[in-house]
Structure 1
Amino acid sequence: MIEKRSKRTPIVQQAFEDSTLRIAIHDILPLREVPTSVRKSVKYGQIAASIAEVGIIEPPVVIRDGIVPSTFHLLDGHLRLDVLRDRGEKEVVCLIAIEDEALTYNRRICRIAIIQEHKMILNAVKKGVSEERLARALNVDISSIRKKRNLLVGICEEAAELLRDKFVPLNAFVELRRMKPLRQIVAAEMMIAMNRYSTSYVQSIVAATANEEIVEGRKKISKGLTEDQISIMERETAALDREFRRIEQTYGADHLDLVLAIGYVHRLLSNVRIVRHLAKFHADLLSEFQKISDLQKAA
């Protein structure tokens, strides 16, 4: 009789206690001092303005002291806590971490992409928050709020979806608007494939775009480029587009083959006799196989 093994459901470790806690600021011990130079920075000013206008949005993260339970160590939120202390606040609502992740905590924070920020601004305006108040809260000029509010005007939905979680500069969207929808989608795919999102890179895509793919009334900006250079860029971009499409068509099958090959190598290296033979006669090959096997572990 063959006994069936039940698949274990992976256990997801809880990172925080179930509820937040209001803590006296004097009971929170920062891990570092905030230098004077940081207090004069734009970022610090934005945080101070936001707290003054709408209060704390993202609670600081603390962990209980292992010896004195009424004392907490600050893991994330040093600038927020410093602003509150300067304002004379006595208490703050905090998230209570279960494990001390002080050194790696920032790796777990998902920085907000500009399209997500655009949607937040739209939601805030929809709920009645004025542009002036948003500008004060973020300590930016009101024109910046308006640019972010109108970020996706002239951008097709497919391109916006492709770039929704990417860190794309505001001015890159100005360049994308010069192109027609289908070309915007191609440009977004090229940006992702090359992992390049700078304004200058989008400008180069626009410069290499055929005139019939440019929105009527929006001229291409090609400073320092001759007509011949632009023509060469257009031909090279067209060739790159074709190559990109060809790779895209075979990507699924190629990726499956790669996964199977990595799995096979990993199984080979689980055999002690094979590893011993490779170590004795093909040490360089064993080293490469181990690198391939490590890819599966990393995944």
Structure 2
Amino acid sequence: MKARGKSLGLEAAYQVLQNSSTRHAALVEEMYEPARLFTGPWLCRTYEAECERTRKLTTEAEIPRHRLETIVQAMRDPLKQERFRRLLSAEGLAAVPKTLALRINGEQPAQTPRPPAEPKPLISGISSEVVDLLQDWYTPPQVFASLRRMLPERQLKAARLMIALNRANFHYAQLLSTLTPLSQLADPSRPKRNFASVTAEQLAGMEIEFDALNDEFLNCASLCGMWALELMAARSYLDRLMENARVVRYLAQNFPEQLAELQTILDIPMGREALARPKRSGRKRKHLVF
């Protein structure tokens, strides 16, 4: 959207939305989706590319959880033995991190539930919560035109996806709008666009798969931070175990496979590089076994 020959950024667009009932009403009406024709091939290419990208990011977000599961599986059998538990107690290592202990016992750490969101007023058809989420992102005004076609709950999900995937652009918003089920459109009576070479059954299948992938990604993204903190606590405890010669000797003699798994986890550096898949190398951390 332009005003007096200048492109409006998100902050200006926000002001346009906020003041839509007064002098900016005409500008709000100009927040429309471009009339360019989105073809069937474009839809299929964009859909496949975004699905692949979402799968990849979901896999990366799950890495801390997979490493936690490796630690849990490696520690479960040794901790079943009374002799090993007595050894840990004698060495001052009986205090297993709470969340790790819960997972070893087959329980899941409690998650703080989100309080139910209170309905917020719409600003020219856009949820004010969505505008707040996007206020720190440069978002082309045409994005709001695509969002306006959705119900507020769907708008909020779309905004979270655009932020988490770094996709606050019109093409992604258009894809989200196109693959929104009729029940989640602001005007379900409005006929959906037909695409050449894409049947109604194919489009319905794309809607289902796209929603499932996005739900899985948003769930992983919301839990990734918690998993990373749990992993840090678990690794800190493992470091203490691996520095204890008696514990290492016991594991080497009775649970060599589990010891190797724990050593592999500790060989992976923490920090940004820890988010990548570990590369197997011949060099491993060495622990003395007396």
TM-score range, shorter chain: 0.3 to 0.5
Bigger strand fraction: 1
TM-score (norm 1): 0.40
